[in-house]
């Protein structure tokens, strides 16, 4: 789908398969210039009770007298049209109204050329158009038949609108990459495949990419990652991406993504029901690659490093066993009480590796615990950090992008449960507060820098009839990184 900015001129002569007009609930008309025909249609629809202007309320009209557009779609913004959530809901409602309609070319209009329509439209129409096709034939009757979306903007706002559109399109490209990777089945998306995707990304955008194999991982003494990998015939990978947009002396921000391409639980085998969804256990890794796709398109003046430990977690004669003790890259020994708590094991080696970059901040992203789903459901990602300023920056990025997270506690009292009689630390505590104790485990390996952890187990994918990856938290991550550009020294 193509997105562009078009000049906001006379609506009466605008030729379009569908003119979408966003309207405030309290406004009598559209607020647009030369829109008498639209205003008349709105007034009639309100009088007949067919359109209220409430958030997400829609009315699809045929040919409106005085308009050249084949169809006109009225979409309500509610009483608070500056609210990003209202815009997202309204744009999604517009897509629903166009489902199955033969409307290849769509134009969007709103009073004063309001800029929030750009992010909302790109996100909603991008999701509307998304179709997974890597391992299946395309649908002969697709729900989305929209080919291009043109957002109408006054000439005085055109430059700003185009810049905002470029950013939104780049983020959506990152979201799509994340979803495409995460939706692949485990026999296609192996650790080696993630490494190849990273290398292809590097070639396409001139990024520095290293993919470490088993021998290099052994030389790095990543005993925790190797322990998880030893039950699988698929060799592990450790992927390092570098985006360099600022001076070399500028400390980078580091993203660490959990890349378990299939998680059976290992010897601590998961229940069979819905185990197929454990292909999504690499959504953290996919979100890092998606964020780099967006960064490479936008070229901000910052430095960013991406680290992805990638492996399968399978049972077998060589698999790690409950009670085994392994030595992590940091030198700390770990008693593995549950082999299904493997994400924290591969992340702890990556977090220790991150020290070499002397980072400005480190954010790890992982589908880490079912406990986080119980605590927060599928709305908010779990956010853990001992750093108030870093936590607030991530929370604000979540609010701005409608990709929300919720700050959870940390502390020594929670970490008490990780004590072990046979190692420096155990990989699990009791059942209570499982997402918190998992974060406390990771915190042991992050003393050298500012750190935050995002548990995306409840937000990275959907189950049921809409089963599939969501692309979260790519929008949050990109917004956070772009916000760090201020004060950075350009190259």
Residues 6+ apart with CB under 8 A from 358: 251, 449
Phi, psi of 336 (to 5 degrees): -90, 95
Residues belonging to the chain: 491
DSSP string, 171-192: HHHHHHHHHHHHHS-TTTS-HH
Confirm if 423 and 441 have CB atoms less than 8 A apart: no
Q: Do 3 and 89 meet the contact criterion of CB atoms below 8 Å apart?
A: no
Q: Are 96 and 88 in contact (CB under 8 A)?
A: no
> What single string gives the DSSP state of each residue in 384-429?
E-S-HHHHHHHHHHHHHHT--EEE----HHHHGGG--SSSSEES--
89 is catalytic: no
CA 223 to chain centre: 29
From the candidates 237, 344, 444, 472, give the one annotated as an active-site residue: 344
Is residue 344 annotated as part of the catalytic site, yes or no? Answer: yes
Roughly how many angstroms between the first and final C-alpha of the chain, as a whole number? Answer: 34
The secondary structure of 354-386 as a DSSP string is GGGG--SEEEEEE---HHHHHHHTTTSEEEE-S
Candidate list 70, 270, 407, 450, residue with the active-site label: 270
- Is cis: bond before 473, omega within 30 of 0? yes
Instruction: Identify which of 365, 403, 401, 400 has the alpha carbon closest to the alpha carbon of residue 384.
Output: 365
Which residues are known catalytic residues?
Answer: 270, 344
């Amino acid at each position: 789908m193509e997105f562009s900015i078009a000049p906001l001129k006379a609506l009466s002569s605008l030729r379009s398969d569908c003119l979408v007009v966003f309207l405030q609930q309290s406004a009598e008309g559209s607020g647009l210039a030369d829109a008498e025909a639209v205003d008349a249609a709105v007034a009639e629809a309100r009088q007949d009770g067919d359109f209220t202007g409430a958030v997400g309320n829609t009315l699809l009209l045929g040919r409106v007298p005085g308009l050249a557009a084949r169809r006109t779609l009225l979409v309500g913004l509610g009483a608070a049209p500056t609210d990003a959530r209202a815009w997202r809901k309204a744009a999604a409602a517009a897509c629903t109204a166009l489902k199955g309609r033969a409307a290849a070319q769509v134009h969007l209009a709103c009073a004063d050329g309001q800029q929030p329509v750009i992010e909302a439209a790109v996100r909603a129409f991008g999701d509307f158009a998304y179709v997974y096709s890597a391992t299946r034939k395309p649908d002969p009757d697709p729900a989305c038949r929209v080919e291009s979306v043109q957002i109408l903007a006054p000439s005085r706002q055109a430059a700003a609108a185009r810049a905002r559109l470029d950013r939104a399109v780049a983020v959506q490209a990152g979201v799509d990459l994340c979803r495409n990777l995460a939706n692949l089945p485990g026999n296609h998306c192996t650790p080696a495949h993630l490494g190849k995707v990273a290398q292809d990304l590097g070639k396409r955008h001139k990024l520095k990419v290293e993919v470490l194999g088993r021998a290099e991982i052994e030389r790095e003494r990543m005993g925790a990652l190797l322990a998880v990998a030893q039950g699988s015939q698929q060799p592990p990978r450790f992927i390092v991406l570098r985006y360099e947009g600022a001076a070399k002396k500028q400390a980078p921000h580091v993203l660490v993504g959990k890349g378990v391409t299939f998680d059976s639980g290992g010897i601590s085998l998961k229940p069979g029901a819905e185990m197929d969804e454990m292909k999504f256990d690499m959504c953290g890794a996919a979100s890092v690659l998606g964020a780099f796709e967006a960064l490479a398109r936008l070229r901000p003046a910052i430095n960013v490093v991406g680290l992805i430990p990638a492996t399968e977690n399978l049972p077998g004669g060589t698999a790690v066993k409950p009670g085994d003790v392994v030595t992590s890259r940091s030198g700390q020994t770990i008693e593995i009480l549950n082999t299904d708590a493997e994400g924290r094991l591969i992340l702890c080696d990556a977090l220790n590796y991150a020290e070499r970059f002397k980072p400005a901040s480190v954010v790890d992203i992982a589908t880490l615990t079912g406990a986080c789903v119980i605590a927060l459901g599928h709305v908010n990602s779990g956010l853990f950090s001992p750093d108030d300023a870093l936590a607030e920056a991530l929370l604000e990025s979540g609010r701005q992008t409608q990709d929300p997270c919720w700050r959870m506690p940390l502390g020594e009292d929670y970490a008490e449960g990780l004590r072990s009689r046979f190692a420096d630390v155990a990989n699990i505590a009791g059942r209570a507060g499982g997402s918190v104790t998992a974060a406390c485990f990771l915190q042991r390996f992050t003393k050298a820098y500012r750190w935050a952890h995002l548990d995306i187990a409840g937000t990275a994918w959907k189950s049921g009839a809409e089963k599939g990856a969501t692309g979260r938290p790519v929008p949050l991550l990109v917004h956070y990184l772009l916000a760090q550009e201020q004060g950075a020294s350009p190259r």
